[in-house]
Amino acid sequence: MQNSNDFNGQKFHVGLDVHKKSWAVTIRSLGVEVAHFSQPPVAEALSSYLQRNFPGGEYYSAYEAGFCGTGTHEQLCKLGIKNILVHAADIPATDKQKKNKTDLHDSRAIAVHLEKGNLEGIHVLTQEQQELRSLFRLRESKVGDVTRANNRLKSFLMYYSITLPETVSKNGFLSGRALEWLDIELGCASGTLVLQQYTEELKYQRKQLSQITKSIRGEILAGDKQTYENLLSIPGIGSITAMGLIAEVADFTRFDDPDEYASYLGLCPWEDSSGEIIKKNKRCPAPL
């Protein structure tokens, strides 16, 4: 460390363990841990501490990608701190470290490996792309809502032996005409109310799903029409799959070759063999 208060050009590596109510912070420089403390979950507080105690330094930081998204990352970068988001599984750890895990140890490990250059940041999507991804994931959850509403209604009809005529339903499919036909009365008001609620719930969920799908398609056609059309030209890829790939992957050019893209998707084979024991798998979990 320098004797004066001028740290111009000196590099400081900050390991962050980010939580909702507080951050655990470890700062290292020139191979020495120079500070460790807990602070409120505010990027400005960290920036003020660094500027006040190590003025003129170059600041690097890292934290694990998780619940707080990329907002903290963007705030740190705007304040002049060169931050990266890291996959938790990419942080080297011994068995002892895995069994003795605290906020202090986590922030210290990140700072140590950041200083050594052992950490590589994950790709960070733009705000617009993250919002598009959230919209597509909302569609995925809405598909589940539609399925549940559909199954509840079909179970109710089966329980009371209500059979739909073939003129409005084929193979038991609850079409729009079938839902209109179900505007009937049962033996008493309570049963009729249940049938009405199940029917209206299914109509509502289907309407929501349709609106979300149209919104996703509209945004993609407005912002990335060529990629969408290129994906549709591939045999086996339909409209929903193409929209999902664009929403989740975003920029395909960030992959240098097909093998890197296959690895991202989790399609790369792996092997975990020792001696006469051979373990192989054609798939592995996709990284974040």
Task: Give the mean pLDDT of 263-278.
Answer: 78
pLDDT range class, residue 3, cuts 50, 70, 90: low
pLDDT at 270 over 90: no
Nearest to 230, CA basis, from 242, 217, 221, 216? 242
In the chain the domains, ranked by start, together with CATH numbers, are: 11-116 (3.30.420.40), 127-254 (no CATH), 256-288 (no CATH)
Looking at per-residue confidence, does 256 or 210 come out higher? 210
Rounded to whole angstroms, how far apart are CA atoms 125 and 264? 15
Nearest to 238, CA basis, from 248, 226, 229? 229
**pLDDT reported for residue 128:** 93
CB atoms within 10 A of CB 260: 11
pLDDT at 113 over 60: yes
**pLDDT reported for residue 280:** 73
**pLDDT reported for residue 173:** 85
Which two tokens mark 195? 């049938």
The pair phi, psi for residue 83, each rounded to 5°, is: -105, 150
**pLDDT reported for residue 285:** 46
Contacts of residue 276, Cβ cutoff 8 Å, sequence gap at least 6: none
Element housing 29 (H / E): strand 23-29
CA 177 to chain centre: 38
Rounded to whole angstroms, how far apart are CA atoms 104 and 127? 31
Task: Give the mean pLDDT of 144-152.
Answer: 96
Task: Give the mean pLDDT of 212-217.
Answer: 97
> Could you tell me the end-to-end alpha-carbon distance of the chain, in angstroms, rounded to an integer?
37
